[in-house]
Amino acid sequence: MSNWADETLIALDNVVDNVQNIFTPTLRLGVTGLSRAGKTVFITSLIHQLIEGNNLPLFKPLANGRVIGIKLAPSPNQGIPRFAYEEHLAALTGNDRHWPTSTRQISELRLTVKYQSATWMGNITGPQEVHIDIVDYPGEWLLDLPLINKSYAQWSMQAFENASEPARRDIARGWKTLANAVKPSAEFDEADAQKLSSAFKAYLSDCREDTHALSALPPGRFLMPGDLEGSPALSFAPLPPQSGAKPNTSFYATMEKRYEAYKHLVVRPFFRDHFARIDRQIVLVDTLSALNAGPAAVKDLQSAIAEILSCFRAGSNNIFSALFSTRIDKILFASTKADHLHHTSHNQLEMILNHLVANAAKDAQFKGAATSSLALSSVRATREGQVEHEGEMLETIIGTPQTGESLSDKTYDGKKEIALFPGELPDKPESVFDPDASHIGQLKFLRFRPPATQTDTNGHLKLPHIRLDRAIQFLIGDKLQ
């Protein structure tokens, strides 16, 4: 994945980090997932829950009373945008409560935890501190990392192969017609290049729409450009295989150069400067949207997870790697938005997620990293209830659908609460790939508004969630021993 120059820079950075760690240890926690997987809501809730500490019964250091305080701290990295925590929390909890703006690029935020260690040494030395640097970045950017080892011809071939799959064939038609009309050995023309690249981006973006919900769509910056919005580095597209001569100024050669520049200027620096320095990782997965869109979307999600996981430098840290080359020693896969289902379906959701990540997780475990999967809701927007339907009691969820959400012939106004029977997930996780399975087309998921504001007995804001405390315990609990 990386060359020796990158490795040297990574090692130097790690040595600097380690010297700083002697004073206050730092844990860099990566939060990723594809667009709308729930990263922004997860991080906002995570920070709020940790600072308030009033709703995390399964986070042991807090439950055991050893956490003295957790507060926001200035970010050590001046060159990276700060995660807009206050703005996002205000969106979720303000009068017209709405979901915050989603992740568009990398951002960071530092929390400092002061705690009393449980070890005998800790009792002698007194309270200790640890920094937790939360790094939020689009999962789409990870789908770019495998490109480092692929030539333009290989990437192009794969893009055309993907586009011929049944789920993508129709959506790809416009772009493929343009691509097949290009004469690769002809002199390069900027207007044609822009047209082709825009058509390719439009195809990727259509694939991502709710009805298709496809996931494996590199290059990641085409859908999630971050600070490269409108940049010429993003104006290329794949071309069909070419055998004959391709002069230096030809269409094909210019596209190839742009692809190589993208790898060099965009992909490699992201890997080196951010990704290679992460200690622990949570991968958020919107399993329900893929299930809703059908087996092709689930299959695509599975490939995207495998691609994402193949990029992780996973493994347990030995003395050498701890000094020079950080490895990710824990990975948590979390299926988000579990509040769209009744709790009696959460186990099935977890089993489906386990099934989707099985190979990727096995590989990480083989390298020595600990992995776990769970179904969670960062901010729980629904309650549970029961309704009688044709003599049968159905387990429902109750919440306020967002303005404009619709089901059957009803469109909701964002004010009225409803009880919804979301349907049942299949008992056998492998049936999510079966186009004839009974759950297909039976599931009903609506976007709900965030919950009405709740407070604890001290009048402090309390955000409801599902299993966020278990996620936090897995990710950082052992660092507060």
HSE, CB side, 13 Å, CA atoms: give it for residue 437.
Answer: 20
Residues with Cβ within 8 Å of residue 466, at least 6 apart in sequence: 338, 339, 343, 346, 375, 376, 377, 380
Residue number, 370 or 443, with CB nearest to ligand GDP: 443
Least distance to ligand GDP from the beta carbon of 381, Å? 4
Among 197, 254, 371, 377, binds ligand GDP (CB under 6 A): 377
Q: Tell me the window of 17-25, 36-44, 177-185, 271-279 that interacts with ligand GDP (CB under 6 A).
A: 36-44
- Closest CB 292 distance from ligand GDP, rounded Å: 13
- Residue 193 touching ligand GDP (CB under 6 A): no
For residue 194, give every residue at least 6 positions away whose Cβ sits within 8 Å of its Cβ, in sequence order, or none. Answer: 235
Contact between 102 and ligand GDP by CB under 6 A: the answer reads yes
Any contact of residue 379 with ligand GDP (CB under 6 A)? Answer: yes
Decide if 49 contacts 464 (C-beta within 8 A).
Answer: no
Q: Which of 115, 135, 114, 105 is nearest to 43 (CA)?
A: 135
CA distance 377 to 467: 7
| Count of beta carbons in the 10 Å neighbourhood of residue 26 | 19
- 35 makes contact with ligand GDP (CB under 6 A): yes
Q: Residues 10, 37, 92, 132: which binds ligand GDP (CB under 6 A)?
A: 37
Q: Which stretch binds ligand GDP (CB under 6 A): 9-17, 33-41, 146-154, 308-316?
A: 33-41
DSSP 8-state secondary structure symbol assigned to residue 382: -
> What is the side-by-side order of every strand in the sheet holding 383-389?
383-389, 392-399, 418-420
Find the angle CA(365)-CA(366)-CA(371) to the nearest 5 degrees.
5
Our finding on whether 215 is near ligand GDP (CB under 6 A) is no
| ω into 219 cis (within 30 of 0) | yes
| Binding piece for ligand GDP, criterion CB under 6 A, among 37-45, 49-57, 235-243, 436-444 | 37-45
Distance (Å, rounded) from C-alpha 368 to C-alpha 378?
28
Query: Which listed range, 6-14, 28-36, 110-118, 172-180, lies at the site for ligand GDP (CB under 6 A)?
Result: 28-36
Using DSSP's 3-state secondary structure scheme, residue 381 falls into: coil
272 lies in the binding site for ligand GDP (CB under 6 A): no
Q: How far is the CB of 449 from ligand GDP (least distance, A)?
A: 9
Residue closer to ligand GDP by CB (options 184, 225) is: 225
- Least separation in angstroms between CB 80 and ligand GDP: 16
Using CB atoms within 10 Å of the CB of residue 409, give its burial: 0 to 12 exposed, 13 to 18 middle, 19+ buried. exposed
Residue 378 is a binding residue for ligand GDP (CB under 6 A): yes
Q: Confirm or reject binding of residue 40 to ligand GDP (CB under 6 A).
A: yes
Stretch that binds ligand GDP, among 79-87, 167-175, 331-339, 454-462 (CB under 6 A): 331-339
**Chain residues that interact with ligand GDP, rule: CB under 6 A:** 33, 35-41, 99, 102-103, 336-337, 339-340, 377-379, 381, 447-448
